[in-house]
Structure 1
Amino acid sequence: MIDRLPPLTALRAFEAAARHMSFARAADELNVTPAALSFQIKSLEEHFGAPLFRRLNRAVELTEAGKALAPGTTDAFQMLQAAWRAAGRTVDTGVLTVTAGPAFTAKWLAPRLFDFAQSHPEIELRFAASLRLMDFERDDIDIAIRFGFGGDDGPNLYSEKIVGEWLTPMMHPDLAARFPTPESLLNAPLLHQDDIAWLRPACDWTAWFRANGLELGEIHGARFSQADHAIDAAQAGAGVVLGRITLTDRALRDRRLVAPFKTAISTDAHFRVLCPKGSEEKPQFKAFLEWLRVETCKMRDHGQGRHMVRADDIGG
């Protein structure tokens, strides 16, 4: 064996075959014939000076040397792919990939996509609706919008709070006449959102009734794992939702929902925007961030005249 690295094509063939444990599947992935892939691996073994695979009847398995080589080659090719994508993003100013939770994507971002396109026709927005933790390089993501209490996002990330969150009862206009007071809501069909059950202090129906000097008693009503589904049910007249202002802004403006009560619960949890540090100065990033700031400011009028009660101040 010599220290000089073998050809990249031979290493690529080995990595694919080791990952699939199949020459045929590896050849299909690399769009070459099985014979061509086998030749590449054979040349790699000759370069190495020892077998990397054991050829069995209808299968292959790695030798000890192959097992030592496989993890490093997989990591190396993943790093190369990430570096290639990162380099591409430095010259591609026409595409911006944004990830946000499914509810925020459906109820806030998507309805405003046309507005952004009108203002910035030179930028193509792409959305990835997900709540999982993102790796900007690995997942090919430019900007992440996340809901939570924030904290230390690390020295390599730019982080900016874009909008706070508060909740108040919302319902179809036809239901508003049937439930004119906070007391009457005790008998209303209440809709619950389990996706914010992790908030501490809690921002739920029990907390809202306590903020009004009332006790809910037995909890009843339909439960939803996603806030956007609960909002859709409320718009259909199925019940009253403790609506999150960030997700109901358009529905309130269009009168598909009304929020007739003054009391609202505010939480320290908020939406923030994250991107690799330095990216916020790039033209397409700056345009999107400024657009976010303008659009979120428009929601402030919903809070005018309301009695905001911090979740921390509601007694248990």
Structure 2
Amino acid sequence: MRRIPPLGALRAFEAGARHLSFTRAATELRVTQAAISHQVRQLEDWLGVSLFERRGHALTLTQKGQAYLRELTPAFERLAEATTRLYEAEQGPLRVTVLPSLASCWLVPRLASFRQHHEELELQISSAVELWDFLDDRFDVGVRSGLGKWTGLKAELLAPEGLTPVCTPALARRLRAPSDLRKLRLLHDTPKDGWRRWLDAAGVEGVETTKGFAFNDAGLVLQAARQGEGVALGRLMLAAEDLRTGRLVRPFETVLPNDYGYWLVHPRPLSGRSDVAALRAWLLSEARATARSVGLAVTG
């Protein structure tokens, strides 16, 4: 008979020891901080040893706690690998959720490249604005815009983003200086203060930013710009193909950094899946090449 402590208590200890915080462990495991504390005490009672030293709000591991964590870490990794192998044995198409603007402007035009490199893999792509919380089984991975903070998920930055005016070549000929923007309709999505922030960065005053067209999707902003409806405050990653083909141009060089970048996110156990790894490598290569082509700084 195996002598094994309650698995819930082991999981609570491993997360708490990894973070050195019961609060962060509770967030990761989607339980309360009190539940983590209770399970860790239950484990200490079961083992008959102290695993943590608690000094006020500071949390450190005892020597026995450190030794126990060293033994448990590879065990949890083997569990994750076993789960990955089970996923792969049962897997069908790789189910991906992508923001509509990124799907239409960036991902779909590049799918031929993915097929050339990975004919054996099937993607099932869904576009949605709402944030998927990964608690259900509708999708395997997602490509999202944000700060990279999704509780309990692995998130990897694909590329940064930047905002700059884009328009048709015909409209660009009417723009000799940023102050000339007052003559044209301004197009934007969110953030709503983007135009004001860009104008401030360009050192321009007196341009009315409340008039024009506002959209709830960055892809629609670019579509309106292609049709000559005005000058869009475009997202460079999304506008890259339009800029490459000359459908749109950049009348000015000033780029407003966007705090939000594009991230690949998925539950941690899926990291070792071969199809997830293949998609990750392809997305990183394509996204970073796109970012470099429009002058966005890429690290890594």
DSSP-derived class of the 1:278 partner:
helix
- Residues of 1 paired with 2:91 and 2:224: CA distance? 39
* Contact in 2 for aligned 1:94/1:123 (Cα 8 Å): no
Which aligned pairs between 1:195-214 and structure 2 lie closer than 5 A? 196-197=191-192, 202=193, 204-214=194-204
AA of the residue aligned to 2:174? R
* Contact in 2 for aligned 1:191/1:222 (Cα 8 Å): yes
- Residues of 2 paired with 1:300 and 1:225: CA distance? 23
Which aligned pairs between 1:266-285 and structure 2 lie closer than 5 A? 266-285=257-276
DSSP-derived class of the 2:255 partner:
strand
- Show CA shifts across 1:271-295 (max 9, x none): 1111111312211111100001100
Offset at residue 121 of structure 1 (A) = 0.6
Q: Which residue of 1 aligns with 2:49?
A: none
- Residues of 1 paired with 2:148 and 2:196: CA distance? 25
Q: Which residue of 1 aligns with 2:177?
A: 181
- Residues of 1 paired with 2:271 and 2:223: CA distance? 34
CA distance 1:91–1:137, shift in 2 (3 Å): farther
- Show CA shifts across 1:188-223 (max 9, x none): 1111214x33xxxx4x11111111111224521112
Which aligned pairs between 1:140-151 and structure 2 lie closer than 5 A? 140-151=138-149
Residue 114 (1) aligns with residue 104 (2)? no
- Residues of 2 paired with 1:180 and 1:105: CA distance? 33
Q: Which residue of 2 aligns with 1:294?
A: 285
- Residues of 2 paired with 1:212 and 1:188: CA distance? 17
DSSP-derived class of the 1:270 partner:
strand
Offset at residue 236 of structure 1 (A) = 1.2
AA of the residue aligned to 2:108? A
Offset at residue 302 of structure 1 (A) = 3.9
- Residues of 2 paired with 1:250 and 1:257: CA distance? 9
- Show CA shifts across 1:136-162 (max 9, x none): 4624201011111232x234x211111
- Residues of 2 paired with 1:242 and 1:165: CA distance? 12
AA of the residue aligned to 1:101? L
AA of the residue aligned to 2:163? L
Which aligned pairs between 1:1-316 and structure 2 lie closer than 5 A? 89-92=87-90, 95-136=93-134, 138-151=136-149, 153-155=150-152, 157-194=153-190, 196-197=191-192, 202=193, 204-215=194-205, 216-217=207-208, 219-304=210-295
- Residues of 2 paired with 1:161 and 1:128: CA distance? 20
Q: Which residue of 2 aligns with 1:312?
A: none
DSSP-derived class of the 2:281 partner:
helix
Q: TM-score, normalised by structure 1?
A: 0.62
CA distance 1:207–1:137, shift in 2 (3 Å): closer
- Residues of 2 paired with 1:137 and 1:127: CA distance? 18
- Show CA shifts across 1:163-184 (max 9, x none): 1110110001121111132111
Q: Which residue of 2 aligns with 1:74?
A: none
- Residues of 2 paired with 1:183 and 1:189: CA distance? 13
- Residues of 2 paired with 1:134 and 1:299: CA distance? 25
Please report the RMSD computed on the Cα atoms of aligned residues, expressed in angstroms.
2.2
Offset at residue 116 of structure 1 (A) = 0.7
- Residues of 2 paired with 1:138 and 1:300: CA distance? 32
Q: TM-score, normalised by structure 2?
A: 0.66
* Contact in 1 for aligned 2:186/2:209 (Cα 8 Å): no
- Residues of 2 paired with 1:137 and 1:91: CA distance? 21
| 5+ long unaligned stretches in structure 1 | 1-85, 309-316
- Residues of 2 paired with 1:269 and 1:112: CA distance? 22
- Residues of 2 paired with 1:266 and 1:218: CA distance? 19
* Contact in 1 for aligned 2:166/2:225 (Cα 8 Å): yes
CA distance 1:125–1:119, shift in 2 (3 Å): same
Q: Which has the larger displacement, 273-282 or 210-219?
A: 210-219
Offset at residue 300 of structure 1 (A) = 3.1
Which has more radius of gyration? 1
